Amino acid sequence: MINISDRDSVIASADGTAEDKSTEPQAAVGSLMSPESSAEIGFIGGASAGAGTVQAELRERASIADFGAVGDGLADDTAAVTSTIAFALDNNVRYLFVPSGVYRLTAPIVIGGSLWLDGDGVEPYEGFSPGPGPNQRGGGSWFFLDHAGKGFILQRPSVGNSASGISISWLGTFRAHTVGAPGTTFVPTVYDYDFTVDDADALFDNVTLLNAYNGIQVLNGNAGRLTTSNLRGQPLNIGIFIDQAYDVVRITDTHFWPFWSQSEDVAKYQLNHSRAIVSARNDNPLIVNLFCIFYKIGLHVVGNGFGTTNKLKLVNADFDRGQYGIYVEPSAVGHTGMYTNVTAQGEVGSLATFASNNSGVSVNAINCVMNFSGLDLAEHRGPSLDANAAGIELNVAQLQAGNWNGSGLGFGCVQAASGAVVEISDRPKFFGGGGAAVFSGNGEISAPLRAGTSSANTDANGDVVITHNCPITPRKIFVTPSNSVGLICTVRARGPTTFIVRLFDSAGNAWASGDAKFDWKAEY
């Protein structure tokens, strides 16, 4: 018996000697699958691996290199990759290995069944270049999508009702774009999605979308789900688009950053066009640990004929140097979601060539109910938090916001349109604002501001002046006397820094020049 390693292309000749068939990979694999040939050969699979036949081993794993994929970035490897996938699906092979290399594809690759496409991992860049050109791409298992269409189409089997389980892991994709000299307007080449998931159950693990125009698209998820883990790259138009996902989508540890190009012209383009995640009809999505920088919109919630996004959970998100952290457009009627630990910082430097009065969170659809816990918003030309349609209910805890109204047009930090309700459950923290109002609009906004205890002597009119240190003039002030003589208190005046309490005795006479002690609470 001849022992060979997992990925060698060797068969036994008629006289029992080993014969190298690496130059005829497809023929060799087909021969090895036959019982009469495979029975003659065993595998060395490691110390814990048992002996087996090539036929059994090939039912578990194959390499695209065995089918003629070159991986030099120049040869067209489309046919070899297509043949490998067809062989795997026809022979119940579950694992396809993508060795390190650059595999050039000139047409979409369709995967219509259960399969695991696994690479050696990738390094997004070897040399960091802050100049106009792209960074030097690093090594690993790359697919160069050298055409305008979809890169990979992951779909359910065309025959029967079998579930699909398609995994893409430890590899990367890239496209061809041109970055001009500094100061040149960057316009990317328009491409379809690098990956489209069509009614399939798909997992992406440690996948790099180096410079996709459009990254991952999820459609028709009646019986399928999307799971991504450790997704990274620099998608130039849309990173992830989800529609008709009627089951749980899970997106974990996403990092969209200038891996491909540090060019300021590319960043300006992204600030005016790019969206990290676009969510249409999407039921119960779970998004955890999301970071993106230089994106016009971090999370864009939309609606269509199928509905919108319901019961979304977003935990730990940082939308850095963009326009909008979260943008709910008017079509997303009835969107619901829970958002925890969200930071959105707008771009105000030389890259801010946009004219919109942007916000950290902007909700523009009627009847949305959104709950926030831990919300930090700063550096926006408009309001930090904008409830801009009737029927909106925003419930907010632990709000910190600053440097809103960068346009100088008088936007409040928190703005509520007529018919909208913003309820802030604990004392918010505000800074900056350029003298603009903290709260604005004709909607209902409520928030606790300050509380304290006063112990002082009243003046001749029975008044005590309290400096409240609230960021605005309170709409409501509650006063509770704590003197044993049973004083009656009323708030006579209020302003942006002080309010006046007048005290009376039980007979209704002014408590002039007397000791007064009371607790107070100011709210908006």
The verdict on 413 and 485 lying in the same domain is no
In a domain, 297, yes or no: no
The pLDDT assigned to 220 comes to 82
The verdict on 311 and 367 lying in the same domain is yes
The verdict on 390 and 376 lying in the same domain is yes
The pLDDT assigned to 344 comes to 98
Count of C-beta atoms within a 10 Å radius of residue 500: 17
Q: Which two tokens stand for residue 185?
A: 């307007």
Q: In the beta sheet, which residues pair with residue 41?
A: 2
The pLDDT assigned to 339 comes to 98
The verdict on 325 and 422 lying in the same domain is yes
Which residue, 422, 446, 470, sits at the end of a domain?
446
* Eight-class DSSP state of 67: G
Please give the average per-residue pLDDT across 190-211, as a whole number.
96
CA gap 369, 246 in Å, rounded: 20
The pLDDT assigned to 129 comes to 67
pTM here is 0.86
Please give the average per-residue pLDDT across 212-216, as a whole number.
98
Please list, in sequence order, all residues whose beta carbon lies within 8 angstroms of the beta carbon of residue 218, skipping any fewer than 6 positions away. 197, 202, 226, 240, 241, 242, 243, 245, 249
In a domain, 5, yes or no: yes
Which residue, 58, 82, 99, sits at the end of a domain?
58
Please list, in sequence order, all residues whose beta carbon lies within 8 angstroms of the beta carbon of residue 455, skipping any fewer than 6 positions away. 515, 516, 517
Q: What is the pLDDT of residues 279-335, one digit of tens each?
A: 999 999 999 999 999 999 999 999 999 999 999 999 999 999 999 999 999 999 999
In a domain, 178, yes or no: no
Question: For residue 8, is pLDDT > 90?
Answer: no
The verdict on 508 and 519 lying in the same domain is yes
In a domain, 32, yes or no: yes
**Closest among 437, 385, 430, 434 to 406, alpha carbons compared:** 434
Q: Which amino acid is at 46?
A: G
**Confidence bin at 53 (pLDDT 50/70/90):** low
In a domain, 44, yes or no: yes
The verdict on 367 and 456 lying in the same domain is no
CA gap 380, 361 in Å, rounded: 10
The verdict on 506 and 469 lying in the same domain is yes
The verdict on 367 and 333 lying in the same domain is yes
> For residues 502 and 462, is the Cβ–Cβ distance under 8 A?
yes
For the chain, the straight-line distance linking the first and the last C-alpha, in angstroms and rounded, comes to 84
Number of domains in the chain: 3
**Confidence bin at 484 (pLDDT 50/70/90):** low
The pLDDT assigned to 156 comes to 84
Of 94-98, 179-183, 312-316, give the lowest mean pLDDT range. 179-183
The verdict on 313 and 420 lying in the same domain is yes
Q: Which two tokens stand for residue 372?
A: 């926030």
CA gap 383, 304 in Å, rounded: 27
The verdict on 379 and 324 lying in the same domain is yes
In a domain, 107, yes or no: no
Q: What is the pLDDT of residues 221-258, one digit of tens each?
A: 766 689 999 999 999 999 999 999 998 999 999 999 99
The verdict on 309 and 405 lying in the same domain is yes
Of 98-102, 201-205, 393-397, 506-510, give the lowest mean pLDDT range. 506-510
Which residue, 58, 77, 99, sits at the end of a domain?
58
Supply the range of the domain harboring residue 359: 305-446
Q: What is the pLDDT of residues 343-371, one digit of tens each?
A: 999 999 999 999 999 999 999 999 999 99
* Eight-class DSSP state of 59: T
